[in-house]
Structure 1
Amino acid sequence: MHRSGVTMAWNVFKFCTALRGLGSVMILLVLGVVGVTYYTVVLTNYGPALYNGGLDSLIALVVLILFHCLLVMLLWSYFSVVLTDPGCVPPNWRPAVDEERGEADPLTGSDFSGLQTDPSNQRIRYCRKCNQLKPPRCHHCSVCGRCVLKMDHHCVWVVNCVGALNYKYFLLFLFYTFLETSVVTLSLLPHFISFFSEGEIPGTPSTLATTFLAFVLNLAFALSVLGFLIMHISLVAANTTTIEAYEKKTSPKWRYDLGRKKNFEQVFGMDKRYWFIPAYSEEDLRRIPALQGLEYPSRPEFNSQEF
């Protein structure tokens, strides 16, 4: 029995190590798909169409402008997720108030035994892997080897955890990826249909192959990303994460569900000018503690139950 436990721990360790090593490969894969798409849309099809004149030139201009604008936002959001730390527990962090006991004194080492881990309970938890207290909604990531604030999941596509400080950027990455892949799919659809027509198809075999590949890849990404986007929109609307949605299961009430408007603001901020860019205004960072990942307002009935 002991041997099987050791084997399982070792296998999990190797799995987590493999995920870390997979990171650079995934970034290269994303950039490779972007490169193939750019070559197909800009250099092969719609770039040359600018010189055709008439309606073809106008359509090409519109497609190219839309394509480049969405591509800039996609890459900006993507690298914001990759390069932004999702949030970790500050050194020697202690809660200002033990909300379970209603005291102002932080928990001490003698209080660690018996701490509850129920995600619907605000009581402070302790991570035995990191040997530190865990703020509300914080979870330990086995791949990163640390506790992550408001952890949603570890994403191999962005080589990073998705947490409190980069969740908005991840959602924008999904949003712009869906728009970009949809635009590419629609713009290449006539060329894809021409593959199965009886008429002569213009272009060399290599350009035809890349056009076919780009269409299939972008269609696949558009459909898959749409599913993830719908799922995460529902999570934002309920002010929960992927991990929390799994943990709370059939709980009828979620302590952090403050209504769709306030739930949205806890992820995207209140300043509408920043909603669609991977950044926050200084004012939002100052007046919305949830954006810092350490404090989260609760529903009134849960606050009244704690004292």
Structure 2
Amino acid sequence: MHRSGATMAWNVFKFCTALRGLGSIMILLVLGVVGVTYYAVVLTVYGPYLFGGLLDCLIATAVLILFHSLLAMLLWSYFAVVFTDPGSVPPNWRPAIDEERGEADPLVGSESSHGQSDRSNQQIRYCRKCNQLKPPRCHHCSVCGRCVLKMDHHCVWVVNCVGAQNYKYFLLFLFYTFWETTLVTLSLLPEFIAFFSDGEIIGSPGSLATTFLAFVLNLAFALSVLGFLIMHINLVSGNTTTIEAYEKKTTPKWRYDLGRRKNFEQVFGMDKRYWFIPAYSEEDLRKMPALHGLEYPSKPDFECQEF
């Protein structure tokens, strides 16, 4: 039995190592899908419509303006997730102890493999792999090989962990990807239907194949991203991450659920002008410690769970 467990652990390590090597390949794949889509929508279909009749010109102009606007926000959000560090534990970090309440993190019993107790009997979470203390809601990523603040998951599509400092950008990436792929699907639907009609099809075989491929890819992405988007909307409304949603099944109460409005602000900030762009206002960064990933407000009437 011990031999089997060792083999499984070795395989998991090899799998995590392989994921690290996907980096540039996944970025190129994303850019490849964007390139195929751009060629089909702009150069093959709606670009030529700009030089047609008045109605065709107006429709093409509206589609292209919306297409480029969503594409710009999609790429901005995507590269913000890729290049923004999700948050790491500062060197020699120590928890701020609430001596009056002596609360323990509700996930400590299920996640921590080693604990230390302070004078308030609060169990401090500890990572044996990183050999350091862990802030609340922090988890170790086997792919990145480090602890990530408020880790949600490791995403191969963005070649990065999704955590406290780039979770908003990831959600905006999903949001704009869904609307962009939906727009492309609807825009190319007449061309897709014409592809199977009995009438004469205008265009070279290469352009027709690209348009067909772009339609299928965008339809598939729109449907799959919609599922992820709905899931993460539910997570944000409850102020949980993907990991926490699984772990808190054994926790009767969730200390970080502050109500939907405040839960939303814990991710997107309080400044409405920044809600739909992958950035935060200086005031939000200064006034909201949760955006940095080390401290999180909790319910004042939360009853400490003992493990």
Residue 301 of structure 1 aligns to a residue in which SS? coil
Per-residue CA deviations over 1:93-149 (Å, capped at 9, x if unaligned) read 00121569749xxxxxxxx95459xxxxx8420111111000000000000000000
Deviation at 1:301, TM superposition (A): 1.4
For the 8 Å contact 1:124–1:136, the answer to whether it is kept is: no
Residue 302 of structure 2 aligns to a residue in which SS? helix
Per-residue CA deviations over 1:131-172 (Å, capped at 9, x if unaligned) read 100000000000000000000000000000000000000000
Query: What is the CA–CA distance in structure 2 between the aligned matches of 1:199 and 1:9, rounded to whole Å?
Result: 59
The alignment's TM-score, normalised by the length of structure 1, stands at: 0.91
One-letter amino acid of the counterpart of residue 200, structure 2: E
Residue 87 of structure 2 aligns to a residue in which SS? coil
Deviation at 1:43, TM superposition (A): 0.6
**Which residue is 1:77 aligned to?**
77
**Which residue is 1:158 aligned to?**
158
Query: What is the CA–CA distance in structure 1 between the aligned matches of 2:245 and 2:12, rounded to whole Å?
Result: 23
Deviation at 1:263, TM superposition (A): 0.2
Change (3 A) 1:261 1:148: same
Change (3 A) 1:200 1:305: closer
**Which residue is 2:168 aligned to?**
168
Q: Unaligned regions of 5+ residues in structure 2, if any?
A: 104-112
The alignment's TM-score, normalised by the length of structure 2, stands at: 0.91
**CA RMSD, Structure 1 to Structure 2 (Å):** 2.1
After superposition, residues 118-267 of structure 1 pair within 5 angstroms as 123-249=123-249, 251-267=251-267
For the 8 Å contact 1:99–1:123, the answer to whether it is kept is: no
Deviation at 1:253, TM superposition (A): 2.4
One-letter amino acid of the counterpart of residue 87, structure 1: G
**Which residue is 2:108 aligned to?**
none
Query: What is the CA–CA distance in structure 2 between the aligned matches of 1:70 and 1:156, rounded to whole Å?
Result: 22
One-letter amino acid of the counterpart of residue 200, structure 1: E
Deviation at 1:4, TM superposition (A): 2.5
Per-residue CA deviations over 1:236-278 (Å, capped at 9, x if unaligned) read 0000000000001154421100000000000000000000000
Aligned residue pairs total: 294
Change (3 A) 1:285 1:76: same
One-letter amino acid of the counterpart of residue 49, structure 1: Y
Q: Percent identity over the alignment?
A: 85
**Which residue is 1:107 aligned to?**
none
Change (3 A) 1:113 1:55: closer
One-letter amino acid of the counterpart of residue 220, structure 2: A
One-letter amino acid of the counterpart of residue 134, structure 1: K
Query: What is the CA–CA distance in structure 2 between the aligned matches of 1:147 and 1:53, rounded to whole Å?
Result: 59
For the 8 Å contact 2:115–2:125, the answer to whether it is kept is: no
Per-residue CA deviations over 1:25-79 (Å, capped at 9, x if unaligned) read 1111100000000000001110111000210000000000000000000000000
Query: What is the CA–CA distance in structure 2 between the aligned matches of 1:114 and 1:17, rounded to whole Å?
Result: 28
Query: What is the CA–CA distance in structure 2 between the aligned matches of 1:206 and 1:99, rounded to whole Å?
Result: 70
For the 8 Å contact 1:86–1:163, the answer to whether it is kept is: yes
- 1:278 counterpart = 2:274: no
One-letter amino acid of the counterpart of residue 183, structure 2: V
